[in-house]
Amino acid sequence: MSTEHGALLGPADIRELAAALGVRPTKQRGQNFVIDANTVRRIVRTAEVGPDDVVVEVGPGLGSLTLALLETAAHVTAVEIDDVLAGALPATIEARLPQKAGSFALVHSDAMLVRELPGPAPTALVANLPYNVAVPVLLHMLDTFPTIERTLVMVQAEVADRLAAAPGSKVYGVPSVKANWYADVKRAGSIGRNVFWPAPNVDSGLVSLVRRAEPVKTSASKREVFAVVDAAFAQRRKTLRAALSGWAGSAAAAEAALVAAGVSPQARGEALTVEEFARIAEHKEAGA
């Protein structure tokens, strides 16, 4: 096993571990293992993980990023759905960072079903998220664990662009607005394909989410606001008067809610901030 990067895993280590476990990365689970120690160190640095942080990681795989996080953080809890990978990870930590084994916890579960975590409350979420479930997992974790102040996720570049898009952008949509409900979101870098095994056929991007100091000021619930967002983008080419007619009960009721919220009925969803969607939600007529 290589020692150039100390406890961290290099390409040979990853392939060796995978072969020993009979693991072949699957497209179905969106698995691409990071094989570059410099990349995981960069992710930890960009995430600004410090010695007081309690980090939750989703989809740790063979443990590349987990080890880098453990080198710096006070505690790491990894959530892994795969039976073989979940079974092997504690032994990898024990073998490569024995002094930190007591600061590591494993939750063998689908991240979408996780409602609580062992140990101290998480302060940060850092993960190489499987491409196919990145957005729902990210939103679920932010919603379920309000103590997560900072998040850094590696996702497909296109998803990174969508999450970090501003109103008016062509790629601004449901993920952009919903992520913005919880956090200030920005692109935090790009990751090439050659740091993964197997190399994906798309580039990856880092997205930083810093939880809002103050939640969006609204009397509407998150569920009510998200219902407006979903309706607005379900038919994104239509004006909001038309797109929200089903949500409001009629086009006239949609127009009334929009006017009351100070939003043009002729506007489209991609022009609106999360605060504007919240105002529209507040003006839905009772009984509609």
Binding positions are 32, 34, 59, 80, 110, 128
- Tokens in use for 40? 């995981």
Spatial separation of the C-alpha atoms in residues 136 and 124, rounded to whole Å: 17
- Tokens in use for 33? 């293992």
- One-character DSSP codes across 93-152: HHHH-GGGGGGEEEEES-GGG----SSSPPSEEEEE--GGGHHHHHHHHHHH-TT--EEE
138: closest CA among 200, 62, 208? 208
Spatial separation of the C-alpha atoms in residues 24 and 12, rounded to whole Å: 15
**Strand 204-211 vs strand 183-191: parallel, antiparallel, or unpaired?**
antiparallel
Sheet holding 75-80, edge to edge: 104-108, 75-80, 54-58, 124-128, 150-156, 204-211, 183-191
- Tokens in use for 129? 């998220």
Annotated binding site for S-adenosyl-L-methionine: 32, 34, 59, 80, 110, 128
- Tokens in use for 229? 């967002």
